[in-house]
Structure formats: C-alpha cells, structure tokens
C-alpha cells in the first residue's frame, strides 16, 4: 500500500480471553459520532464493532495496541466516476469552460484508451489504498461489473447512470429503469443506486421516472445539479455556451425542459425519492439551500472540493448549507477532474478553503455524512457498536494537540486500513 509505515502493533492475549474478540487500542480514537477518546479502543467481533471506549473500561479479548496512533472510521467517498481511473491527469486544463470539458469527456470515451471495467477495478484499488472503505460510484458503461464479482475491502453503491434528453433516448433509458432490482443491504458489499445524470442531459419524464423508481425500490439517487452558471442559464433561457454546445452536437431539444426552470424545481421532485444526493450544488441559491436543509433526513449535498477548484467555480455554499443543518458529504469525483482518488486530500483542501470550519466538522463530512448521504449511516461512517468494523489507523507524532487535525490537516502516514474487521494486506 502507499505510504504505509505503521506503528508496529503490540499484541497481548489476556488469560482466558475470548478468542473471537479483538480490541484495537491507540493513544487517541475518534468515533466521530461521540467525543474523542484518550487511550481508547475499538472492540471487534467478526466484522462488527462490539464496543468503543476507554481501553481501561471496554477492552476485552486479544489486544492489538497501535500505541502513538489515531484511529478513525474508514473514509466515505460519496461521489466518484471510477471508469475514468486510468487517466493520469484530469482532462483539459484547469479553469477550462464547462462545455469544453464535456467535449473532452466525450472524446476520451470514444478513444482506445477508455477501458471502463479495468479503470473501475483500478479505481477501487486506489480508493482502498487511501482509506476509503465506502464509495458511491457512477457507472455508465459497466453497471453490472461489481455485482458479478464484489470487490474486496470496500463497500460500493453503484449508481447506474441514465442519460437521455431526446424523446427516443429517454424512452430507451426508461426500459433500463424497469429492469432494476431492489437492493440487498446487509448481505452484500455492493448495492444499486440510480443516477439520472444532470438537468441538461435528462428529459423531464426520465428524471421523474428515476425518482419514482428510487421510491419504489428504496434506492439512493444521485443527480448532478447547479454545477455551473452555464447550466443555470440553459435551464432558465435555453441559451448560453452549454445550449450552443448541445445544439452543435444535435443533442438539444427545446421541448425537453420548460424555460424558466431552476434547480429548486428539481429539488421539489427529488423530495419524494427514497434518498437523494445532490452532486456539486455549486450555484444553489438561498431558498434552495433552505429547502435542502429542511429535508436533511433524505437529501444531502456532495461537495467535490478539488473538482470545484479545478473549474475555478465561485466559492461553494458549504458554510451556508451547514448553517441550515444540511448533510454535506465529500466526493473525489472522477480522475477526469481530479489527479487522484485520495479522499484525505479533499479533507485537507476543505480545511484550506474554509479555515473557519473545525477539523471535527471536516472529518465528519468525509465519514459519517458520506454514509448518511448514501443511506448507510446504520452500517458505517462512525465507530459505533453494531456497525461494520471499518477503521483507519494514522501514525500520531504527538506534535498536534487536536487529534482530528492530525488526520485532516497533517501528513502523518495512513498506517493501516481495516474493512469489516479485516486488515487489508499491504502491497
């Protein structure tokens, strides 16, 4: 694995200890849904967390002591496009117009370099190396790949991508929706989600059918919304660079979206989905932020910090969303806009752009909020009894007094990744 120079754990066996129980101890433990612990431990049986607390109080069974280390929940990357993971650098160049970037994506997808299945597997491997134990992936080309052979060491929600603006294309995508099966939470590390792509690529009837399918099958739904000023202009007045671009491609249909549409119109429809992830939301207005904050039980925003910076967007409304009680998760997006799939680098970026946010808040964005966004808060995202034993061990140099800052702002190595109680082999 990358950067893995672990503190060597010390193992003790208590006399008469239960052999199926292991207590992972460290100087500092960050459960995320509770106060941080000094000299704490995570007690694990099988793939589940049995207890979390001070070592002196809750430790039982075999002990693995990481010493000067910080234990956190595994990271949750709520939005990625793993099929672009073979790219060595983002497409285009920083600051390019949004429509130009879409053209680059289409060209890449048609090129001989595009291998979506191999890229998805490479992206999962990279994600695990960076401590991502749960991921939401948008799959346009190989949506069944992971169901045929579930990956090891990471929980995947594979959102099937739907694109259809013309009447004909929308009809073929509606047939795909009809073929979806219900999820299988609790028995598999791979589950289904639905992703109507974006307002400018999805006809109104297809979007509404996707929301109905989300409700009927109880599947999470991801939708790129309010990503660029060009998108807002296209929705409002059917003109601007994005409309010109779609027109040149022959992909624009004036009847697909009513003039005067705004993101709030989509949010109102999304309200009836089982769960929705608003991806990006860079240009949401105050009343739209209010709406999302008022629907935080089933609606979340996924902020992709370095992708946002790549396009040079106006500041993200992250602080306003948090003020309104909205659930905000983090995503790396794909390697078509990001140099890697390192979620910790996204945490670090948030800390730089929003210095008023505490490291505790930022760590929650990359862990528990991601699990909430995808609908897996009962399964992962924090160190809590009953949840799957997904946790990370970071070396702690004792210089930083705030344990969250060690993870969010520091560069101490990621020493170990555990998924479902299993330590992932170093490579």
What is the nearest approach in angstroms of Zn ion to the Cβ of residue 280? 7
Q: How far is the CB of 334 from Zn ion (least distance, A)?
A: 6
Least CB distance from residue 161 to Zn ion, whole Å? 9
Nearer to Zn ion, 49 or 194 (CB): 194
Contact assessment for residue 127 and residue 81, using Cβ atoms and an 8 Å cutoff: no
Stretch of residues binding Zn ion (CB under 5 A), selected from 157-165, 227-235, 293-301, 326-334: 326-334
The stretch among 7-15, 171-179, 330-338, 385-393 that binds Zn ion (CB under 5 A) is: 330-338
- In what helix (H) or strand (E) does residue 375 lie, and over which residues does it extend? none
Output 137 or 333, the one with its CB closest to Zn ion.
Answer: 333
Of 79 and 130, the one with the shorter C-beta distance to Zn ion is 79
Min separation Cβ 164 and Zn ion, Å: 17
- C-beta of 65 vs 137, nearer to Zn ion: 137
Which range binds Zn ion by CB under 5 A, 43-51, 287-295, 327-335, 371-379? 327-335
Q: Compare residues 59 and 374 and give the one whose CB is closer to Zn ion.
A: 374
Supply the minimum distance, in Å, between the C-beta of residue 304 and Zn ion.
7
Candidates 60-68, 207-215, 325-333, 414-422 — which segment interacts with Zn ion by CB under 5 A?
325-333
Q: Judged by CB under 5 A, which stretch of 36-44, 149-157, 243-251, 328-336 contacts Zn ion? A: 328-336
Helix axes 98-110, 241-249, angle to 10 degrees: 30
CB 42 within 8 A of CB 386: no
Nearest C-alpha neighbor of 230 from the set 329, 96, 330: 96
Question: Which residue's C-beta sits nearest to Zn ion?
Answer: 333
Provide, rounded to whole angstroms, the least separation between the CB of residue 336 and Zn ion.
Answer: 9
Q: Rank residues 114 and 409 by Cβ distance to Zn ion and give the closer one.
A: 114
74 vs 281 by CB, closer to Zn ion: 281
Structure tokens at 359: 């490291």
- What CA–CA distance (Å, rounded) separates 85 from 197? 19
CB of 175 to Zn ion, least distance (A): 24
Cβ distance to Zn ion smaller for residue 84 or 394: 84
- From 94-102, 174-182, 332-340, 347-355, span contacting Zn ion (CB under 5 A): 332-340
Q: Which is nearer to Zn ion, 105 or 251 (CB)?
A: 105
**Residue 343, by phi and psi: left (phi above 0), alpha (psi -120 to 50) or beta?**
alpha
**Shortest distance, position 246 Cβ to Zn ion, whole Å:** 18
Distance between CA atoms of residues 383 and 304, nearest Å: 24
- Letters for 119-148 (x = contact with Zn ion by CB under 5 A, - = none) are ------------------------------
| Residues binding Zn ion: number (CB under 5 A) | 1
The interface mask with Zn ion, positions 333-372, x = CB under 5 A, is x---------------------------------------
Between CA 380 and CA 420 the distance in angstroms is 10
What is the binding site for Zn ion (CB under 5 A)? 333
């Amino acid at each position: 694995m990358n950067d893995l120079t672990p503190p060597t754990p010390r193992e003790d066996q208590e006399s008469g200890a239960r052999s199926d129980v292991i207590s992972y101890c460290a100087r500092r433990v960050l459960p995320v849904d509770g106060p941080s612990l000094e000299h704490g431990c995570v007690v694990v049986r099988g793939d589940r967390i049995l207890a979390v607390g001070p070592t002196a109080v809750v430790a039982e069974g075999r002990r693995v002591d990481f010493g000067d280390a910080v234990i956190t929940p595994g990271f949750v990357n709520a939005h990625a496009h793993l099929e672009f993971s073979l790219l060595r650098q983002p497409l285009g160049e920083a600051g390019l117009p949004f429509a130009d970037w879409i053209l680059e994506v289409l060209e890449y997808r048609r090129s001989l370099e595009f291998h979506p299945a191999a890229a998805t597997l490479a992206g999962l491997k990279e994600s695990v190396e960076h401590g991502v134990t749960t991921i939401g992936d948008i799959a346009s080309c190989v949506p069944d790949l992971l169901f045929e052979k579930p990956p090891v060491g990471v929980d995947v929600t594979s959102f099937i991508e739907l694109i259809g603006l013309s009447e004909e294309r929308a009809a073929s995508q509606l047939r795909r929706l009809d073929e979806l099966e219900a999820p299988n939470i609790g028995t598999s590390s791979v589950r289904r989600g639905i992703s109507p792509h974006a307002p400018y690529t999805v006809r109104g009837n297809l979007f509404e059918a996707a929301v109905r399918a989300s409700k009927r099958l109880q599947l999470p739904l991801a939708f790129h919304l309010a990503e660029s000023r060009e998108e807002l202009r296209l929705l409002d007045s059917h003109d601007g660079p994005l409309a010109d671009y779609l027109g040149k491609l022959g992909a624009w249909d004036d009847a697909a979206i009513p003039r005067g549409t705004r993101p709030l119109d989509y949010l109102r429809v999304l309200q009836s989905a089982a769960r929705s992830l608003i991806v990006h939301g860079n240009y949401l207005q105050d009343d739209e932020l209010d709406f999302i904050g008022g629907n935080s039980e089933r609606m979340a925003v996924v902020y992709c910090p370095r992708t946002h910076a790549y396009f040079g967007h106006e500041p993200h409304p992250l602080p306003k969303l948090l003020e309104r009680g909205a659930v905000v998760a983090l995503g790396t997006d794909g390697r078509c806009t990001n140099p890697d799939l390192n979620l910790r680098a996204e945490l670090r970026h948030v800390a730089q752009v929003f210095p008023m946010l505490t490291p505790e808040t930022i760590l929650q964005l990359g862990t528990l909020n991601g699990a909430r966004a995808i609908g897996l808060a009962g399964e992962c995202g924090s160190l809590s009894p009953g949840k799957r034993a997904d946790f990370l061990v970071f070396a702690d140099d004792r210089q930083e007094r705030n344990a969250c800052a060690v993870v969010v702002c520091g560069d101490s190595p990621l020493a170990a990744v555990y998924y479902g109680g299993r330590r992932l082999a170093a490579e």
